[in-house]
Amino acid sequence: MPNSIYDLQFQQPRSNFLGSQLKEVIDFIEFIDSNPRARNIIINLKNIQFVQPTFILALAVLFDMLEERGSSLIVNQPKDGYCNSYLKYINFPSGIRPDVIKDWERLLNKHPYRTYLPIVNFPTDRDEISTNVREKLLSQINLIIKSRLNIESELQNAVSYLISEITDNIIEHSGINRGWLMVQFYPTTHYLDICLIDAGKTILGSYIDNGMLEIKDDATAIEKALIGLSTKRDDRGTGLRTSRAISMDGLEGDFILYSGNALYFKNKIAILQRKWPGTLVAMRIKSKVEKFDIYSYI
């Protein structure tokens, strides 16, 4: 009922593996689908001790989506003090909006010893102002990654490429005016997580809007995107195809693509009961790989 208060208890993901971060997200989508008129919602994170980009960025996007539809949301912070401080630093749930906040560069560069970046909520409009903001933003992110993370130049090039390619995909195909980004490095395991999300039209929706009506479901849309089928028909799209190859084949990591009700993970496409309202891309890559050459994949 609209006037009821819904207290959503989020649980700690069972492991640090990339795929494990999605369970709580999918449960949240189930709640949203089952309660379209819910207006008073508590996001209860008291049982959370540690979060990673795939989980917390998806949560931020869904939080924003609910606010857009008129819901009133309150966040109950984790009991764990470190996790509480972490969420504050990454600007959960709203993120840093470089086209809205004047001192976004200071916030992005805050705490230079951190091995993670705050949530970034960037504009996807193609006007000159938004384009200039994005270019400046991506330049700053690349500089921060270079200065903070002790990774080799070839990997720096790969990270820059992955962020740029998926950001371009969101701008070109999502049909929505905001995109979301988060990056985190784990010094102990030498893994780097990159997550980019939109709440737009999905990959399938982009194909359909471009007249490719023979593609009829989300699973087929993901399959076509990962072999490089462009919406321009006379060209081949490289963003998702090369990002998957770099992440999994070149840098021995993981790649998740969740769009509509289809999920690509571990070289398989699964049909889920719950749809992601747009497209979610999560990549985990190794920071130390011998003989990696980015030009073998692009």
The pLDDT tens digits of the residues spanning 169-190 come to: 999 999 999 999 999 999 888 8
Average pLDDT of the residues in 14-19: 88
Helix (H) or strand (E) holding 226: helix 218-226
β-pair type (40-44, 72-76): parallel
Q: How far apart are CA 243 and CA 256, in angstroms?
A: 10
Neighbours of 127 (CB within 10 A): 9
User: Residue 235: what pLDDT?
Assistant: 56
CATH classification at residue 22: 3.30.565.10
Portion of the chain with pLDDT greater than 90, in percent:
80
User: DSSP character for 115?
Assistant: S
Q: Which of 5-9, 84-88, 106-110 has the lowest mean pLDDT?
A: 106-110
Q: Tell me the one-letter amino acid at 174.
A: S
Give me the pLDDT at residue 231, please: 80
Task: Determine the Cα–Cα distance for residues 77 and 31; give it in Å rounded to an integer.
Answer: 20
Q: For 264-291, what is the mean pLDDT?
A: 94
As a dihedral over the C-alpha atoms of residue 181, residue 140, residue 243, residue 234, rounded to 10 degrees, the angle is 100
Q: Does the pLDDT at position 233 exceed 70?
A: no
Per-residue confidence (pLDDT) for residue 28, from 0 to 100: 97
Crossing angle of the two packed helices 128-148 and 153-173, in degrees rounded to 10:
150
213 with 117: CB under 8 angstroms? Answer: no
pLDDT for residue 292: 87
pLDDT, residue 87, reads 96
In angstroms, the first-to-last Cα distance of the chain is: 51
d(CA 256, CA 184): 16
Provide the 3-class DSSP secondary structure of residue 100.
coil
Eight-class DSSP state of 96:
B
What is the three-class DSSP state of 55?
helix
Number of compact structural domains in the chain: 1
Cβ contact 42:6 at 8 Å? yes
pLDDT average, residue stretch 257-284: 97
Distance CA 88, CA 218 (A): 35
Residue 232 scores a pLDDT above 80 = no
Residue 51 pLDDT exceeds 80: yes
Question: What is the per-residue pLDDT for 213?
Answer: 95
Q: In what order do the strands lie in the sheet with 72-76?
A: 5-9, 40-44, 72-76
180, 60 contact by CB (below 8 A): yes
Indicate if the pLDDT at residue 100 is higher than 90: yes
The residue range of the domain holding 277 is: 5-296
Contact status, residue 74 vs residue 81, Cβ threshold 8 Å:
no
Paired strand residues for 283: 194, 255
What pLDDT sits at residue 2? Answer: 61
pLDDT of res. 237? 52
- Determine if the pTM surpasses 0.85: yes
Identify whether the C-beta of residue 226 lies closer than 8 Å to the C-beta of residue 242: no
pLDDT given at position 260? 98
